[in-house]
Chain A
Amino acid sequence: KQEVTQIPAALSVPEGENLVLNCSFTDSAIYNLQWFRQDPGKGLTSLLLIQSSQREQTSGRLNASLDKSSGRSTLYIAASQPGDSATYLCAVDMGQFYFGTGTSLTVIP
């Protein structure tokens, strides 16, 4: 069964810092990997989707990479802002979705 792990569970950084969130998965037979943002009491918002054949995707200050063979993905956030404070989740699509438990990010002004 697919296991998705996100480390660290929580992260606190000063504003302006570049940071990396990690996601690992045990079964590499995935179609794609998605990164989401969740604000307290809200639903999840899709940030980036990387197809299994791709190595990375970029959207603004966000860059996600995928190394399918090693079962790893990273989400890089450049020049962090207080508005980036949220929980970030990754999920792999195997026809059925499997989610990590998320990294709670706090950006301190």
Chain B
Amino acid sequence: EAQVTQNPRYLITVTGKKLTVTCSQNMNHEYMSWYRQDPGLGLRQIYYSMNVEVTDKGDVPEGYKVSRKEKRNFPLILESPSPNQTSLYFCASSLFTGSSYNSPLHFGNGTRLTVT
């Protein structure tokens, strides 16, 4: 089944303890991205990647890191989490972006992160 898989679904951690949220897609998509969703603010892009070894900052990259060593995986790393990073996080992928191809964005089921 074609899907974007995020893990874990729920995560509670303490300030400063490094964590990684994994994201994997099995559709051979070139484009992958991370978003956070907060009440009243909607979905905001953290980082995105057009292809392997190519990553770019979105609108809210501070406090996050990403890597794209393989096409299928795009992990999100919080080196020193803080309470203001408590949020619902989504990974998404599409075949292409910024083109005339019919390439919808596919989302994972989300990771609810709480930082105390």
A residues near B (Cβ < 8 Å) are: 31-32, 34, 36, 41-46, 49, 51-53, 89, 91, 93-102
Contact = CB atoms under 8 A, between A and B. Distances in A.
Interface string B32-64: 010100001111110010000000101000000
Nearest to A46: B104
Contact of A89 (B43, B56, B104): B43
9 contacts: A31-B97, A36-B105, A46-B104, A49-B102, A93-B97, A95-B97, A96-B56, A97-B45, A101-B40
B105 A34 contact: yes
Size class of the B contact interface (CB-based, 8 Å): 20 to 34
A71 to B, nearest CB: 17
Given A31-B98, A31-B99, A42 B42 contact: no
Interface of B: 4, 33, 35, 40-45, 48, 56, 58, 90, 92, 97-100, 102-110
Contacts of A44: 90, 92, 105, 107
A30 B14 CA distance: 40
A52 to B, nearest CB: 8
A102 B102 contact: no
A43 B45 contact: no
Given A31-B100, A93-B97, A97-B33, A102 B42 contact: yes
